[in-house]
Chains A and B, each alone.
Chain A
Amino acid sequence: MFAMYDLHRDALLRFLKARTREPAEAEDVLQELWIRLRQIRPGPIANGRAYLYQMANNLVLDRERERRRRTARDEKWVHQTYEVAEGAAGEVYTVDTAPRPDQAISEADELRQLELAIASLPARAREAFCLHRIHGLGHAEVAARMGITRSAVEKHIALAMKHLRRRLLHCGPATPVASPMTDG
């Protein structure tokens, strides 16, 4: 695996530079990849090159997810009240009630966010998006189901993705959200 790594190091670094925010981060990820490889005992791995790239890509995605969670957590934290606890001797502690990063958004909240965002899509875009991304149908199948052309399907899906991106991934801190949504 190390031979593989040496062989593809330059190409991997080039990939990572394109894949991350700045060259320093690309070097970081490459370093992390190397450390991970050290922990792997020589074992049977088919297609080592693809394996290295896949691992590098996953590392970048994990970092990005963590970064976003942290941002979301920090934004939430600003609005979090501190609970004040009184000790036995009368001393006062402040207790950080902010959730841990991995709990920043509960699963139920996350699902509700997704549902709200999907519900806010234009009807046809929502239909195309749900058939494609939630039910796993290909563009051609979606086109047949909806009785429209493939390019119309693409248009709907792109539109849906654009809305969801804006709504779910780039909403600013503490955007007041009115929720006139249906129940359940």
Chain B
Amino acid sequence: MGSASKELSQDEQVLLAAMQWHAVVARGEVDWDGFTSWLEQAPGHRQIYNDVALLDQRLATHRVALQQRYANPAPSRHRWVWSLAAAAAVLLGMTLWLGWQQMPFLGPATQNYQAEAGSRQIALKDGSNIVLAPGSRLRVRGRHQDLLELTGSAYFDVPHDPGRALTIRAGGYMVRDIGTRFEVFGAQNAMKVAVGDGELIVDLPGNPDGMRVTAGHRLLITGTPPVAEYASIPADDVGAWQSGRLVLRGEPLSLVVAQIGLYAGVKVSVEPAIASRRFSGVLAIGEKSQLAAHLADIMGLAVRPQGDGVQLVAVGAAH
């Protein structure tokens, strides 16, 4: 009885096809000739594709809020219990954190690593390998070298060990339950995690379960209040900067400039009015001084000096 109702109607098939096309376009893996043919097949395809793509943009903007709302439908009738639990967890976390800070004898001295113009390789005792991107800093603490704090960008190759409590703090967020190959970028109130192999969890405010990021996906968190976006990416993208290519897929300019600032060696900012515009593309990070200019060219923006760095602005904004 069920099978007949499970059959897709004509318009449902078209909708699913449009979603499929949108997914491959977003991943940069689309066969453009095939896409053209599909659009030509019926005049309605164009509109359905637009609907799917624009709806997805809206969902992406509000993903964190929606994830929280629809995370765990069952216990929602006890919402206040969760709030209480979250508050208790924050309190406990703060107590532990302060306690830890004040008891340096618990662990060996902190190691600070800084990569200047070139990247820097770091090996931890447990066999983990880290490549710290230019202009980035990593702090390693804890008896087991398992409390890391990252400012900037780094590529991690961490052997999976369920008994190990490695955490990475970046951009005000915490990455945990880590294995095995991934990259992290963290700056003020923003982070990006891309996983090539294995999976990990990123803790989000107000979401006790955290968000799982699996191989071939990346998570962006930007803004206040934070907005998180989860998307699939080719696993090859992960750590591609090590071979001189910075691969960016639909990332907001605020996050893009923070990343290229590392390689350019100067502070790059973006005018707030255009900070949420998206950029997709590959930038060659070898050309340090030209990075901001290249980005501006591609996006049709202008570059102007600001403080000891540069700022991307809309053309005609500086009248």
In the complex, A151→B220 CA distance in Å? Answer: 31
A39 at the interface (CB under 8 A from B): yes
Give the interface size class of chain B: 35 or more
Complex contact B55–A164 (CB within 8 A):
yes
Complex contact A43–B284 (CB within 8 A):
yes
- With contacts defined as CB atoms under 8 Å apart, how many contacts are there between chain A and chain B in the complex? 132
A7 at the interface (CB under 8 A from B): no
Query: Given A18-B36, A20-B46, are A43 and B70 neighbors across the interface (CB < 8 Å)?
Result: no
In the complex, A155→B12 CA distance in Å? Answer: 8
Q: Nearest residue in B to A40 (C-beta to C-beta)? A: B297
A85 at the interface (CB under 8 A from B): no
Per DSSP, chain B at the interface is helix
B282 at the interface (CB under 8 A from A): yes
Complex contact B58–A110 (CB within 8 A):
yes
Give the number of chain A interface residues (Cβ < 8 Å).
54
Per DSSP, chain A at the interface is helix
* Stretch among B59-67, B104-112, B135-143, B261-269 lining the A interface: B59-67
Report chain B residues within 8 Å CB of A157: 16, 19
Instruction: Annotate B150-188 by CB proximity to A: 1 below 8 A, 0 otherwise.
Output: 000000000000000000000000000000000000000
Complex contact A151–B6 (CB within 8 A):
yes
Report chain A residues within 8 Å CB of B59: 114, 133-134
Complex contact B282–A45 (CB within 8 A):
yes
Question: A interface vs B, CB < 8 Å?
Answer: 11, 14-15, 18-21, 36, 39-41, 43-46, 49-51, 53-54, 57-58, 61, 64-65, 68, 107, 110-111, 114-115, 118, 126-127, 130, 133-136, 149, 151-152, 154-155, 157-159, 161-162, 164-165, 168-169, 184
Question: B interface vs A, CB < 8 Å?
Answer: 2, 5-8, 11-13, 15-16, 19, 25, 28, 30, 32-33, 35-36, 39-40, 46, 48, 50-59, 61-63, 65-67, 69-70, 73, 79, 217, 230-232, 245, 280-284, 287, 290, 293-294, 297-298, 300
